[in-house]
Structure 1
Amino acid sequence: MDFDLTAEQQLLADGLSRFLATRYGLEESRKAAKIGAGWQPEVWRAFADELGVLGACLPESVGGDAGGPEELMVVTEALGAALVVEPFVDTVVLGARLLARTGHPGALQLARRVVHGDALLALAALEDGSGGVPTRVTTTATRADDGWVLDGAKPVVTTAPLASHLIVVARLADTDDLGLFLVPAGDDAPAGLGMQVFRTVDDRRAADVAFDGVRVGADALVVSGEQATALLEQAWDEGTAAVVSEAVGLMRKVLADTVEYTKQRQQFGRPLAGFQALAHRMVDMYIELEQAVAAQYLAVLSLDAPAAERASAVSAAKATISRAARFIGQNSVQLHGGMGMTEELAIGHYFRRLTVIENEFGSADAHLARFERLARA
């Protein structure tokens, strides 16, 4: 495997990192997340207009730069290092990349709007009792007149309160096939679409979404049947790989901050880093990080592989990342002492995001079980 970035990819990484270092302050982002709109629209606009980040991983057919898995890794790792709450994974990876593959005219038009920063997307897939499997749904879509009627519930849909459109996974009542539907949200939401909005522990906006006789037009169905299942599974693996890369960015920052803190903080007249037991602890954290990086490369560079190979690599990476996120996150807080959980230090905010990633897109146990099933197939 070639782990070296091309010149263009390095420029993307450097440009995004510089932007985030100078114009994305932790205090401002947390204020927007906690008591503001939940995100910073001006940052999102800069991602589109100044940096071209929103189109970096999207095909030319929707106005993107035709970037692939490597560009996805570069962007999400940088976003993780800066603890960005703006919904890149939900909107670009689970949203626009999925829509671009459908070939549906309305889906392609919406993906183009994402590239220009004019739309936010949320994937409403998981349900209670689904076990984290996005294709295991009971939400129904029933034909009615010249359209469809949606009934069901989707809990904890991240980005839903901010989204201009939802991509809803439902089962077609007449064929039992899966279908992906585009449903307007926000001020344009149809009657019967309800949201219970809340803020997650890692400072993102989410909602429990209910569909009670929601009527949409015939063109709301963008893809169905085996194609819908395949595209959804591919998007879910890409979303998982994206948060794997995000976690690597988070853990790099957490480990660096922890090492620096232990060099400055003194106990019994000497820096904490001088105590052998604590030095060994940080070495263990570094080893976990390096294993996580190797898993990240495996997952990202397997995204264009056949479905079974892709799924195995992604599950192996997610199980590795879940373990590393817990170990590095918990030890970094412990090494900071009581300060590690305060709002003033960045470490507490990073720890909460790592804690969520541990189970986001499936827990370590779930991915180990999936990996075993695929290995036996």
Structure 2
Amino acid sequence: MSSFVLTPEQEMLREGLVKFLHNHYDLAVSRAAVKTGPGWQPEIWRALADDLGLLGAALPEQAGGMGGSPIELMIIAEALGNALVVEPYVDTAVLGAGLLHRCGGPRADEVLARIIAGTALTAFAAMEAGPGLDDVATTAHRDGDGWVLDGAKSVVTTAPLATHLLLTARTGGGSTDRDGISLFLLDFDATAPPPGMTVHPLRTVDDRVAADLVLRGVRLPDDALLGNRDGALATVERAVDEATAAVCAEAVGCMRRVLADTVSYTKQRTQFGQPISRFQVLQHRMVDMYLEVEQAAAATYLAMFSLDAEDTERARAVSAAKVTIARAARFVGQNAVQLHGGMGMTEELAVGHYFKRLTVIEHELGTASTHLTRYAALTHPRSPSPR
């Protein structure tokens, strides 16, 4: 695609979402919900589903979505990042919905319809000891007419809120083989987990909810298996790449807000009888921040437009974007805090909350090191891939 100009319909989507968030999404209310409340605002989620119809935006029309265009996904994720929305859009409407749509089947279709309607939340339980999606030690074996799962999953974001879990387990092969990984769908309630499952809730540094899961003889029905046995990894990688691109777009939205707030603050803060925005060294610093944001945005756009490309091209573009985002998030976040002085890390200023989110995004869905290794492996195929 040679132009990034939005169509009139895409402009309407962006303007409508930005206006909604400006009028209805208050940062102080959001922080109260995550710190002392349930961890999210259900009424906001219902509005995203009912009033704006956004929860199917990443899905094709035949699945009940808006067409599944990467451009719409980019617009939504960036706007949500700009407003620091904590509701689990990427976890549920991008990653969860993407997995369910690609796997298909009656159970998957039923949960997918509930996601679009705003009545289901999903969490993706994949992370274990290793960095790759194929580092799966959790096992699932047949027992009668069902399955029995054993293992553990770490930092499963959104799990305390989720109505369903999507969980990877090894049904064949060794612990690091690409073949032999399957995907399972579990009805879930963190306050009353299935027999044999232990849930350890936690909060991440950016005030989002997550949990560590331990599974000991967890029994599932036969139809809990999604897609083909032993063949889920390619589907999982594609869905995770789509979610990673969305998180990159969210980071761009965060950084644009942080940069705008920093520029505004330096125009108000005075020293030696003049605004500090007039100091050349600080002007240079903010120009460097601007360049980092634009480079990150360009890498994210390329990743988004590569989501429908063949596997290697898609994976390379997504990993390149994630590395670029990780560098930019650290640079922009740290410099914004520094230019705000000690106030930058207080609860009263928005910049501190955005900095925490950017710090988490730097590591979310793969660190810079993991994605650099992956990029190298895709460039030189004889190198082992972490995914």
- TM-score w.r.t. structure 1 length? 0.97
Structure 1 residue 371, shift from structure 2 partner: 1.0
State the match for 1:146 in structure 2: 145
Distance of 1:190 and 1:369 partners within structure 2: 37
State the match for 2:182 in structure 1: 179
Is the counterpart of residue 243 in structure 1 residue 247 in structure 2? yes
Is the counterpart of residue 64 in structure 1 residue 70 in structure 2? no
Tell which deviates more after alignment, 240-249 or 183-192: 183-192
- TM-score w.r.t. structure 2 length? 0.95
State the match for 2:267 in structure 1: 263
SS of the equivalent of 2:325 reads helix
Structure 1 residue 6, shift from structure 2 partner: 1.6
Aligned residues: 375
- The one of 204, 207, 218 equivalent to 1:203 is 207
1:18-39 deviation line (CA, Å, top 9, x unaligned) = 1101100000000000000000
Is the counterpart of residue 87 in structure 1 residue 88 in structure 2? yes
Is the counterpart of residue 361 in structure 1 residue 365 in structure 2? yes
Distance of 2:365 and 2:214 partners within structure 1: 21
1:44-63 deviation line (CA, Å, top 9, x unaligned) = 00000000010111123332
Is the counterpart of residue 36 in structure 1 residue 37 in structure 2? yes
Moved over 4 A (4+): 173-176
Distance of 1:11 and 1:194 partners within structure 2: 45
Counterparts of 1:323-338 in structure 2, within 5 Å, are 323-338=327-342
State the match for 1:47 in structure 2: 48
Q: Kindly tell me: are residues 123 and 291 of structure 1, through their superposed partners in 2, closer, same or farther at Cα, counting changes over 3 Å?
A: same
1:165-224 deviation line (CA, Å, top 9, x unaligned) = 000100015897111000111166321121100111101000001111110100000123
Structure 1 residue 311, shift from structure 2 partner: 0.3
- The one of 283, 288, 307 equivalent to 1:303 is 307
SS of the equivalent of 1:30 reads helix
State the match for 1:99 in structure 2: 100
Native 8 Å contact 1:273 1:279 kept in 2: yes
Distance of 1:316 and 1:225 partners within structure 2: 31
1:309-346 deviation line (CA, Å, top 9, x unaligned) = 00000011110010000000000000000000000000
SS of the equivalent of 1:211 reads strand
1:117-153 deviation line (CA, Å, top 9, x unaligned) = 010000000102x12x122201000111110001110
Distance of 2:230 and 2:214 partners within structure 1: 25
Identity %: 60
SS of the equivalent of 1:180 reads strand
Counterparts of 1:343-358 in structure 2, within 5 Å, are 343-358=347-362
RMSD (CA atoms): 1.3
Tell which deviates more after alignment, 216-225 or 25-34: 216-225
Distance of 2:181 and 2:8 partners within structure 1: 41
State the match for 2:109 in structure 1: 108
Native 8 Å contact 1:90 1:159 kept in 2: yes
Distance of 2:323 and 2:172 partners within structure 1: 35
Is the counterpart of residue 272 in structure 1 residue 264 in structure 2? no
1:264-314 deviation line (CA, Å, top 9, x unaligned) = 000111111011111100000011111111101110000000000000000
State the match for 1:121 in structure 2: 122
State the match for 2:226 in structure 1: 222
Native 8 Å contact 2:193 2:199 kept in 1: no
Q: Supply the AA of the counterpart residue of 2:187.
A: P
Native 8 Å contact 1:178 1:224 kept in 2: no
Native 8 Å contact 1:122 1:159 kept in 2: yes
Structure 1 residue 226, shift from structure 2 partner: 6.1
Distance of 2:153 and 2:24 partners within structure 1: 35
Native 8 Å contact 2:251 2:358 kept in 1: yes
Extract unaligned runs of 5+ from structure 1: none
Native 8 Å contact 1:315 1:368 kept in 2: yes
Native 8 Å contact 1:54 1:115 kept in 2: yes
Distance of 1:80 and 1:107 partners within structure 2: 28
1:54-76 deviation line (CA, Å, top 9, x unaligned) = 01111233321223211110110
State the match for 2:384 in structure 1: none
Distance of 1:110 and 1:144 partners within structure 2: 25
SS of the equivalent of 1:281 reads helix
Q: Kindly tell me: are residues 322 and 63 of structure 1, through their superposed partners in 2, closer, same or farther at Cα, counting changes over 3 Å?
A: same
Distance of 1:272 and 1:297 partners within structure 2: 33
Native 8 Å contact 1:62 1:109 kept in 2: no
- The one of 281, 290, 293 equivalent to 1:289 is 293
State the match for 2:162 in structure 1: 163
Tell which deviates more after alignment, 35-44 or 5-14: 5-14
Native 8 Å contact 1:142 1:174 kept in 2: no
Distance of 1:173 and 1:359 partners within structure 2: 29
Structure 1 residue 227, shift from structure 2 partner: 4.1
SS of the equivalent of 1:161 reads helix
Native 8 Å contact 1:59 1:100 kept in 2: no
Q: Supply the AA of the counterpart residue of 1:211.
A: L
Distance of 1:339 and 1:104 partners within structure 2: 52
